[in-house]
Structure 1
């Protein structure tokens, strides 16, 4: 091969390197921006639950300290016990087991439902439920979660952030004073209350788990903690309901053995105690 041919090839390689360096220099700033800034979500209908509803649900980052109450079983009177705050832990669900809240349904109609709170029970132990929520489920029919659950000792376990839609109730409708409320967000599943619901579950007592017909009810600690949690929101009493009440499959009975009178008495007392608390949400 002649020296002239070598020189020609060397010149071509040098020109190619210069061109490559120029392309990288032009593209690098944009590449940096793309890496530094996460992409815009595909679904732009995701909304901020707190900003949309003005009825925020309690988050553990800003923990108020209301005066707790106890029910005296003898006289059913409320007694205030200062200095109590429920224990809590955070056990976030796998992202496949919850989703965005939408401003429009699948037909394009605006969604303006005010929040409701739906009470459940786990059926199994709290640890079993948490394990289920943290397991990725590729099949949509197996995806399930609550926003929070209350263990037997009253610990509040946060599972799904309030601004997201937990998959707590499938085929469901809330019968409110303005008529039935439900939102269809998936073409292959029935409409549900999930888009505007905050789901809280009691841990089921040991004698009521699986297919057992027995059920000893929930602990005093559970009633106090769930009432305390609900009191941190401004969701009115008439928009607090149960899984059994909203379910349209007629297969859900939870929360079983639920003492609504005890719960509402505690809730009212907590709300009175937090009314003047600047930390309350």
Structure 2
């Protein structure tokens, strides 16, 4: 049975969230350099694959601007000014992440080291078909980026900031009917993407059910992308180091995630 998830409340966008989404499209390219020193081999390989998906460069030599990601208890190489430690005991220190890890916490922790205005929501570059209803008309298009709180998509028309719309996303087992508000609308040539118009919207407020569902789907897609890189056995071993709260059963099966 298709599950219908709807949000009908009028968006009320926090200023910080609007600013972060607005800045994301114009961020200059960064060299996000990491040095991994992880004791558990399956986890190390999983992290390498995920970090490539997120645009990080793995360096073989200590560099001043590199971030050292290291397992607790291992000898720390010299030359690093920034360190993120994996450990097994609870901590509120942003320089420490507890194992088993959550994909979301890892993503957000890495963001905080490389951006003055770090993203506060997990997102993925993905080509999902969507239906947009705005100005009493509908059009079919596709998403460029999906987060648990917003979407960036290609639009045939330029839209005004704060303009409201409905966005329908139909996946294999769920349908999301989201009320959204425009954060920015920009012609792609201004950011090196041809003449296409890109629109970013925020979908708020959302129920916990909607946000958790989208976040779980994003995580599943990331894991589905890196699973072939590791192979089934190594991938299964690496999953033991992850907190499965936000993952669905599909990540441990051969069925593709959509």
TM exceeds 0.5?
no
Instruction: State the TM-score, normalized to the length of structure 2.
Output: 0.25
Larger relative helix fraction: 1
Computing the radius of gyration from Cα coordinates, the structure with the larger value is 1
- TM-score normalised to the size of structure 1? 0.24
